[in-house]
Amino acid sequence: MNPVTLVDLRASFEEELRAAIAAGNVQPVRDRYLGRKDGVVTRLLKDVASAPQEERRERGAAANDFKKYVEEHVAEAAEVVREAAQRALSQRERVDVTLPGRLPALGHRHPLTLVRDRMEAIFTRMGFAIVEGPEVEDEWHCFDALNMPAEHPARDMQDTLYLASPMPGEAWTPAGPRPDDERRADLRTMLRTHTSSIQIRYMQAHKPPIRIVAPGRVYRRDDLDLTHTPMFSQMEGLVVGEAVSLTDLKGTLLAFARDMFGAKSRLRFRPSFFPYTEPSAEVDISCWACDGAGCQMCKRSGWLEILGCGMVHPAVFEAVGYDPERYTGFAWGIGIERVAILRYQVDDIRLFFENDLRFLEQFPY
């Protein structure tokens, strides 16, 4: 092979190498020129051995130069291709750290749950246990045992949601002794109208001393309006012991009010009537919005009505088999929605049950 063909060879090698770089793979060119068996360069070197003696030196040197040239350029091209691939990869995987983060939507507790949890925490700190009772009740636990005689207006179909079926089996929690079967046969069942029925069930199953709060849903035949819903929730409180007094009742409720509504809160006890307590009282709390001065919130009175309470009536103790000579106690019932309404200044009770996120998202804690 003469030097002219070597020049041609170099030219076509360069062209093929450029194409290989553009295609991103120099291996085929490397194989074609440097392949051990019949690469172009390998053959070139073999040809030198069979050339006439006088040409060998020159052709050998030229072939070796070309080999070196090919090796260097293939290596260089491979590096160029590798770097280009690297650049393309990092371009594809580039992270834009300046983009704003995407926040996941976090759920949170319903405002009524927040209030109930807070109330439970306050009473738990005062040593109260938290108990529950069934929402489907019988008349005895909801009315009779609470000293509400058959002719009591609260038992009326107008107020109470009675159920068609008689009392189901023994599915109650907490379980307690029940009125005897004969009497039970003609008991009507109903959705409980207040959590006071839990007092009865708990006393049937436990001996004094007792210190419980019992949260739960209650049901009444009310139409929906700003202040009424057919379902709402209450928290019942009951303390029974050997020397429990009205002073204890006042102190307990005041401690609760100050924790829930602020340290400056005052309470006002107004004489009232409930069949299951004697004496009975309705309790107002000093308006926390105006501190009692009178504002729109308290309708200028300085007071907000918050709960009913009293000393447990001896007839209630008799119904559950406690000795009314030995034990005294106090009880109260407080509306959880009512506390939430006062606490958050909500003017429509229905908002708590409509699940409108625009409302619920205002109570993130």
**How near is the Cβ of 295 to ligand DAH at its closest, in Å?**
26
Each residue 231-250 as x (binds ligand DAH by CB under 6 A) or -, in order, gives -----x--------------
Residue 277 contacts ligand DAH per CB under 6 A: yes
**How near is the Cβ of 271 to ligand DAH at its closest, in Å?**
13
Residue closer to ligand DAH by CB (options 71, 120) is: 120
Residue closer to ligand DAH by CB (options 234, 265) is: 234
State which of residues 210, 331, 340, 349 lies at the interface with ligand DAH (CB under 6 A).
Answer: 331
User: Which residue type is seen at 148?
Assistant: M
Residue 79 and residue 61 in contact, taking contact as beta carbons nearer than 8 Å: no
Residue 308 contacts ligand DAH per CB under 6 A: yes
Residue 147 contacts ligand DAH per CB under 6 A: no
Output the CA–CA distances (angstroms, integers) from residue 8 to 1, 2, 18, 290, in the order listed: 11, 10, 16, 102
Dist CA 47 CA 41 (whole Å): 10
Residue 338 contacts ligand DAH per CB under 6 A: no
Residue 329 contacts ligand DAH per CB under 6 A: no
**How near is the Cβ of 360 to ligand DAH at its closest, in Å?**
26
Side by side, the strands of the sheet bearing 231-241 are 129-130, 210-219, 231-241, 328-335, 303-312, 277-286, 267-274
- 270: helix, strand or coil: strand
Q: Single out the segment in contact with ligand DAH by CB under 6 A; choices: 94-102, 166-174, 262-270, 307-315.
A: 307-315
Residue closer to ligand DAH by CB (options 280, 286) is: 280
In 3D space, the residue among 273, 239, 248 whose CA is nearest the CA of residue 147 turns out to be: 273
**How near is the Cβ of 198 to ligand DAH at its closest, in Å?**
10
**Both tokens of residue 242?**
């050997």
State which of residues 213, 235, 309, 320 lies at the interface with ligand DAH (CB under 6 A).
Answer: 309
- Could you tell me whether strands 210-219 and 129-130 are parallel, antiparallel, or unpaired per DSSP bridges? parallel
Residue closer to ligand DAH by CB (options 65, 156) is: 156
Dist CA 149 CA 285 (whole Å): 31
Q: Exposure of 285 by Cβ count < 10 A (0-12 exposed, 13-18 middle, 19+ buried)? A: buried
* Closest chain position to ligand DAH (CB): 333
**How near is the Cβ of 341 to ligand DAH at its closest, in Å?**
16
Residue 199 and residue 141 in contact, taking contact as beta carbons nearer than 8 Å: no
**How near is the Cβ of 293 to ligand DAH at its closest, in Å?**
29
Residue closer to ligand DAH by CB (options 285, 309) is: 309
Residue 42 and residue 30 in contact, taking contact as beta carbons nearer than 8 Å: no
**How near is the Cβ of 342 to ligand DAH at its closest, in Å?**
16
**How near is the Cβ of 207 to ligand DAH at its closest, in Å?**
20
**How near is the Cβ of 161 to ligand DAH at its closest, in Å?**
14
Query: CA 157, 158, 164, 169 torsion: positive or negative?
Result: negative
**How near is the Cβ of 167 to ligand DAH at its closest, in Å?**
21
State which of residues 133, 134, 275, 310 lies at the interface with ligand DAH (CB under 6 A).
Answer: 310
State which of residues 30, 116, 192, 194 lies at the interface with ligand DAH (CB under 6 A).
Answer: 194
Output the CA–CA distances (angstroms, integers) from residue 71 to 18, 26, 45, 68, 355, in the order listed: 15, 12, 14, 5, 75
From the CA atom positions of the chain, what is the Rg in Å? 45
Residues 200 to 219: which contact ligand DAH by CB under 6 A?
A: none
**Residue in the block written with tokens 């209630």:** 316
Cα-flanking dihedrals φ and ψ of residue 120, to 5°?
-60, -40
Residues 20 to 49: which contact ligand DAH by CB under 6 A?
A: none
**Binding interface with ligand DAH (CB under 6 A):** 194, 196, 236, 274, 277, 308-310, 331-333
